[in-house]
Amino acid sequence: MKIQCESCKLTGNVEDSKIPPEGLVLDCPKCKSRIVVKKEVKAGWKPGFEVSVCPACQYSTFTEETFGQCPKCGIVVEEYNEKLKEKKARAQEEERLRREEEIIRKQYGKQQPIPGNQPLDENQPGMKAAELPVSVTVIGWLAIIVAVLLLIAGGKDLYAYSMMTPPPFDPYSTEKQITAESLFLNHGLLPVLRAIFGIYILAAAAQLLQLRSWARGGLEVACWLGMAWIIVDQVVELLGWIKRGSDQAGSYYTVGVVSAILMMVIWLVPVAVVTSFLRGKVIRKAASA
pLDDT in tens, 9-51: 778 877 766 777 667 778 888 888 888 877 665 554 455 567 7
Let me know if residue 106 belongs to a domain.
no
Examine the pLDDT at 194 and tell me if it is beyond 70: yes
Residues in CB range of 222: below 8 A, 6 or more apart? 143, 197, 200, 201, 204
Residue count of the chain, please give it: 289
Which pLDDT score, from 0 to 100, does residue 32 have? 81
122-139 pLDDT, tens per residue? 444 444 444 678 888 899
Let me know if residue 182 belongs to a domain.
yes
Examine the pLDDT at 53 and tell me if it is beyond 70: yes
How does residue 200 score in pLDDT terms, banded at 50, 70 and 90? very high
Structural domain including 259 reads: 130-167+177-288
Q: What does the alpha-carbon distance between residue 257 and residue 235 come to, in Å, rounded to a whole number?
A: 9
Let me know if residue 146 belongs to a domain.
yes
Query: Sign of torsion, CA 128 133 139 142?
Result: positive
Let me know if residue 273 belongs to a domain.
yes
Let me know if residue 97 belongs to a domain.
no
Provide the percentage of residues in the chain whose pLDDT is more than 90.
Answer: 13
Q: What does the alpha-carbon distance between residue 118 and residue 141 come to, in Å, rounded to a whole number?
A: 30
**Side-chain half-sphere CA neighbours of 200 within 13 A:** 17
Which pLDDT score, from 0 to 100, does residue 196 have? 92
77-93 pLDDT, tens per residue? 778 888 888 888 888 88
Say which amino acid occupies 178.
I
Provide the percentage of residues in the chain whose pLDDT is more than 70.
Answer: 81
Which pLDDT score, from 0 to 100, does residue 126 have? 43
Query: What is the total count of domains within the chain?
Result: 1
Let me know if residue 219 belongs to a domain.
yes
How does residue 147 score in pLDDT terms, banded at 50, 70 and 90? very high
150-174 pLDDT, tens per residue? 899 989 988 988 888 877 777 766 6
What are the CA-CA distances from residue 45 to residues 22, 167, 168, 288 (Å)?
14, 100, 101, 54
pTM as predicted: 0.49
**Mean pLDDT score of the chain:** 79
Let me know if residue 121 belongs to a domain.
no
Examine the pLDDT at 3 and tell me if it is beyond 90: no
Let me know if residue 34 belongs to a domain.
no
Examine the pLDDT at 285 and tell me if it is beyond 70: yes
Contact in structure between 255 and 236 (CB atoms under 8 Å): no
